[in-house]
Amino acid sequence: MLLDALLLQLGYNATLVAIGAALLGTAAGITGTFLFLRKRALVSDAVSHATLPGVCIAFLLMAAFGADGRNLAGLLLGSAVSAGIGLWCMNWLTRNTRLAEDAAIGAVLSVFFGFGIVLLTVIQILGVGRQAGLEGFLLGSTAGMLYSDALVIAGGGALSLLMILLTRRPMTLVAFDPEYAAARGLPVERIDMLMMGLVMAVTVVGLKIVGLILIVALLIIPAVTARFWTERSDHVVLLAGLFGGLASYVGAALSASAPNLPTGPIIVLVSFGFFALSLFLAPNRGVLAAVMRHMRFQRRVHLRQGLLALAQGQAIYESLTLRLLRRAGLVRADGVATERGKARASKALRDERRWEIVRGDMAHEAAAALYDGLRDIETVLTQDQIVEIDRRIGGPREVLS
């Protein structure tokens, strides 16, 4: 069943939803990346909640003029207008008052959403009928999606992608360093507005599939996920698009494969699955990689300290150090150094003495700054410099045993 769904074999409607969701997820992932890099991820929360009054007003207006209140294009237009107003309010609050951006986000989010709920109850009271579709915008509903709805969604997703393709360079620049971008003569404010416009477009298009409460997840989670895998912004953008598209596609297919699996929440949970995997498994930034890095470092410190202790004829009691030395064949089971162990130990002690001289000599200031107790001295000084330092220490002496 699931395989059928993934291969688009579950009928016309499910196929439409899956393709629409994949396009939307890709656009959302890419747009969200810029937002995330600009450190304004939660702005999307305000934008998405601010769409609700617009949806309701558009419905009321269309119903009042005798049209079908559920026309998706009309509802989306209304939601775009009210999201725009919400965005403007938020910017006005942060620019003209002492409120910080997070407070402005929260204020816009709650007030617009509250007002939207008042309007929802008004629609219920007026009994304009067939309003059931509107609640679907809260959590998304793909059950009764029409071909025209899917066209609107696919078209919107494709259009947002095109806009991103055209403006990715300036947006990357602004996301990383707005001051530099301004100094380069880029219209930072207009680019910021464009970024927000794209967020708005994605939100509005996603209302039908994911719903306004959860669309934020599609904008934030893929970007955060992609960030784990790479340090290059263009790769983050591509990966975020990929993660977003894949999660949406798999989520939509999953939800079509069984009853009682609402599309929006499933898509969000699938993207969170990708996120959790990345959090643990990503190279470099992942938790597993960090733990392994830490353990490698720990082993190096213990080995080094063990060798120094051997060289100075001190007994070693610490069990991890003993184990490491034994495994490397540097000490015997009774803790006595082997020949190789003695050689490595005297080398370690000599290196330590060399470092001491390097660190005491202003001429080697740059090299001395690299001292961390583990670095091999050969990696920072030339052979000639080491010979020179050895001359100062004096010739090799017999190791105490």
Partner 1 sequence: MMNGEEFVPLSLTPMLIGIFAAIACALPGNFLLLRRQALIGDAISHVVLPGIVVAFLISGAITAWPMMLGAAGAAVVAVMLIEAIRRLGKIEPGAAMGVVFTTMFAGGVLLLEQTDTSTVHLDVEHALYGNLESLIWLDAVGWSSLLDPEALRHLPVELPRMALTLVGVCLFIALFWRALKISTFDEGFARTMGIRTNALGLGLVITAAVAAVAAFDAVGSIIVIAMFICPPAAARMMTNRLEGQIAWSVGFAMVSAVLGYVLAGYGPLWMGGSDAVSAAGMIATVSGVILAISAKFGPCRSRAGAPAGI
Q: Which residues bind partner 1 (CB under 8 A)?
A: 36, 39-42, 44-45, 93, 96-100, 102-103, 105-107, 109-118, 120-122, 125, 135, 138-139, 213-214, 216-217, 220-221, 223-224, 227-228, 260-262, 264-266, 268-269, 272, 275, 279, 285, 287, 290
**Rg (alpha carbons) of the chain, rounded to whole number:** 31
Tokens of 312: 């100075």
Q: Which is nearer to partner 1, 256 or 307 (CB)?
A: 256
Angle formed by the axes of helices 215-227 and 188-206, to 10°?
Answer: 120
Q: Which is nearer to partner 1, 92 or 297 (CB)?
A: 92
Q: Which is nearer to partner 1, 72 or 216 (CB)?
A: 216
Q: Which is nearer to partner 1, 243 or 355 (CB)?
A: 243
Angle formed by the axes of helices 51-64 and 101-126, to 10°?
Answer: 30
Tell me phi and psi for residue 337, to 5 degrees.
-70, 140
Q: Are 226 and 32 in contact (CB under 8 A)?
A: no
Q: Which is nearer to partner 1, 16 or 223 (CB)?
A: 223
Shortest approach of partner 1 to residue 92 CB, angstroms? 8
What's CA 202's distance to the chain center, in Å? 18
> Please, which residues bridge with residue 337 across strands?
331
CB-based contacts of 208: which residues, under 8 Å, 6+ apart?
72, 76, 136, 137, 140, 141, 142, 145, 149, 153
Q: Which is nearer to partner 1, 116 or 306 (CB)?
A: 116
Shortest approach of partner 1 to residue 12 CB, angstroms? 24
Residue 24 CA to residue 304 CA, distance in Å, equals 54
Shortest approach of partner 1 to residue 61 CB, angstroms? 18
Shortest approach of partner 1 to residue 24 CB, angstroms? 16
Shortest approach of partner 1 to residue 318 CB, angstroms? 29
SS3 337: strand
